[in-house]
Amino acid sequence: MTKKTYYVTTPIYYVNDRPHIGHAYTTLAADVMARFKRLDGYDVHFLTGTDEHGQKIQRSAEAKGVSPQAFTDEVSAVFRELATDFNFSHNDFIRTTEDRHKRACAQMWKLLSDAGHIYLDKYSGWYAVSDEAFYDEGELIEGPDGNRIAPTGKSVEWVEEESYFFRLSAFEKPLLELYEKQPDFILPKGRRNEVISFVKGGLQDLSISRTTFDWGVGVPGDEKHVMYVWLDALTNYITATGWPDEAPRWPADLHLVGKDILRFHAIYWPAFLMGAGLPLPKRVFAHGWWTNEGEKISKSLGNVIDPYELKETFGLDQTRYFLLREVPFGNDGDFRRDAMITRMNSDLANNLGNLAQRSLSMIAKNLGGVVPAVTLTAEDEALIEAAGESLLNGVREHLDVQDFNKALETIWLVISEANVYIDAQAPWTLKKTDPERMGAVLYTVIETVRRVAVILQPVMPESSGKLLDLLAQSEDQRHFESLDQRLAEGTELPAPAGVFPRFVEAE
Ligand code: MSP
């Protein structure tokens, strides 16, 4: 039987900047999906990478006085490190300056051109280099100095040059049909509705080449043009499958993106693919944006959230947990230090960490660190069962619609139940009155912890791994199939150690 496959992507990041919370956030979500699907028996492909062409990058390189190639080599390496430092489990890291990608772009252009979707004309209009996006006159707003700016707040400049155009206007109906037929092609729903009304408002043909700079993929047969950076960038998702030679992994199951770049992914990208006669991805999910202590994040305000600082201050898994637990994935969220500390101390250190620590220490002290042979009551069984297949099913259902926060909430319900159980059973009292029952209670708790740890691996790989180490679980006992099993009596457990430290304010 061939294995089920799953292909998930992150946006490829512009290399003009240091990695910030936005970069870590999207890739984290993709990592959790990838890890979950792997444990759930899928053959997973998880792609991330860097978007290295275009005017914005060319200008950043010029400002630094280095060649664009040297500049992108350097910054791309920083993003590659972030992916490693955050324990992201991607299978491929793509750079749009690679030959495999230039070949795919040329082929994409050729298919669109052969199908009659591309024509040469002249573009005159507004362009925001920071967004690498064209804007209609009507979309512009008034900036603080009374000048016109893009709706994103970025400055715009007037562009007038010969350009190739893609007949985007011809795809209005097919796109609306797509959104209709595949209601979860765009999630969350609110964003889907926004896209639908935008498309219903009418689509104009899209300028897809530039002549006034040269840092890009050349247009086949007309090298004074370089391809519009978004046509180039979006194509990365299919390049990475080995296309045009072969593309066994195409289409993608999930493109994860921030809400600001949904339009490119939910309108342009499927239109390009339809035009080229290629299969469409199954879903585009647009997540919200983080603010910092109630303020919009911006470089000029100096309140950019540095993912490395979070990792250093709170720990990697704590940060991973917080980002996905605190806010529903499609919503905007506010990063508050006190909320982070509460999650870290309450959910992780108290509810989960302490549960494991208390029960494992009692087993170490009173049962020689060996998993006891037990007879379980219906109540014990019910708790263990609540942490098994049914919990996994609930979590799976939430993750299948990228509802990370609900998935975690569901897991924490079981952790709370386990805390209520241990307090009610009070094994510390049973120690004297009924040692055998104490063994059964401790067994029930650590078996529950084991199951929770197995299910939590995608979100907190390192800490769950430590919990499973403390339960003497081998690598092949960490798969979701292990949820059907039970901790074996007689298993010798290593000395217990805390897994989730409390946050201590630095002096
Ligand atoms: N290069 C394009 C994507 C091309 S994909 C074919 C791009 N790159 S980017 O480097 O600007 O991407 C930044 C990502 O970070 C986007 O997904 C964006 O939504 C996200 N975020 C930027 N600021 C953010 C927050 N404050 N909060 C959450 N995510 C944010 O766009």
Q: What does the pLDDT look like over 256-292, one tens digit per residue?
A: 999 999 999 999 999 999 999 999 999 999 999 999 9
Asked if 117 contacts 203 with a C-beta cutoff of 8 angstroms, the reply is no
- Determine whether 420 is exposed, middle or buried from the number of CB atoms within 10 Å of its CB (0-12, 13-18, 19+): exposed
Using most ligand atoms within 8 A of CB, pick from 129, 261, 304 the residue to mutate for ligand 1.
Answer: 261
pLDDT of residue 81: 93
| Cα–ligand 1 centroid distance for 426 (angstroms) | 49
- The second-level CATH assignment, the architecture, of 5-288 is 3-Layer(aba) Sandwich (3.40)
What is the average pLDDT across 282-303? 92
Residue nearest to atom 12 of ligand 1 (CA): 13
Q: Quick check: bond before 281 cis, omega within 30? A: no
Ligand 1 pocket: which of 27, 260, 297, 334 to mutate (most atoms within 8 A of CB): 260
The pLDDT value recorded for residue 300 is 80
Q: What value does the mean pLDDT take over residues 443-464?
A: 98
Mean pLDDT of 413-430: 98
Query: Beta-carbon neighbour count of residue 108 at 10 Å?
Result: 26
Average per-residue pLDDT in the chain?
A: 96
Rounded mean pLDDT, 217-245: 97
CB 399 within 8 A of CB 332: no
Give the C-alpha separation, 264 to 257, whole Å. 10
Residue 51 Cα: closest atom of ligand 1: 1
Indicate if ligand 1 lies below 6 Å from the C-beta of 240: no
Q: Are 399 and 36 in contact (CB under 8 A)?
A: yes
Instruction: Tell me which residue has its CA closest to atom 5 in ligand 1.
Output: 11
51 Cα–ligand 1 center, Å: 11
Instruction: With cut-offs at 50, 70 and 90, classify the pLDDT of residue 504.
Output: confident
Model confidence band, residue 144 (pLDDT cutoffs 50, 70, 90): confident
φ, ψ dihedrals at 92, nearest 5°: -150, 145
Range list of H helices, 373-474: 378-386, 389-399, 404-425, 427-433, 435-456, 461-470
* pLDDT score recorded for residue 18: 84
**Domain spanning 337-484 has what CATH number?**
1.10.730.10
| Interatomic CA distance for residues 76 and 60, integer angstroms | 13
Q: Are strands 5-14 and 254-258 parallel, antiparallel or unpaired?
A: parallel
pLDDT digits (tens, 9 = 90+) for 362-420: 999 999 999 999 999 999 999 999 999 999 999 999 999 999 999 999 999 999 999 99
pLDDT at 1: 58
Locate the domains of the chain by residue range: 5-288, 337-484
pLDDT digits (tens, 9 = 90+) for 70-122: 999 999 999 999 999 999 999 999 999 999 999 999 999 999 999 999 999 99
Q: Which atom of ligand 1 is nearest to the CA of 259?
A: 19
**Taking 80 as the threshold, does the pLDDT of residue 2 lie above it?**
no
Residue with tokens 């100096």: 302
Has residue 145 got a pLDDT over 90? Answer: no
Query: 299 C-alpha vs ligand 1 centroid, how far in Å?
Result: 14
pLDDT in tens, 341-361: 999 999 999 999 999 999 999
Q: Measured between alpha carbons, how far is 275 from 290 in angstroms, rounded to an integer? A: 35
**pLDDT tens track for 26-79:** 999 999 999 999 999 999 999 999 999 999 999 999 999 999 999 999 999 999
**Residue 299: what are its φ and ψ, rounded to 5°?**
-60, -35
Q: Which two tokens stand for residue 301?
A: 């305000």
* Ligand 1 contact, 97 CB (< 6 A): no
pLDDT in tens, 313-345: 999 999 999 999 999 999 999 999 999 999 999
Which residue, judged by its Cα, is nearest atom 23 of ligand 1? 22
Q: Could you tell me which of 130, 157, 152 has the C-alpha nearest to residue 141?
A: 152
Q: What is the mean pLDDT of residues 187-195?
A: 98
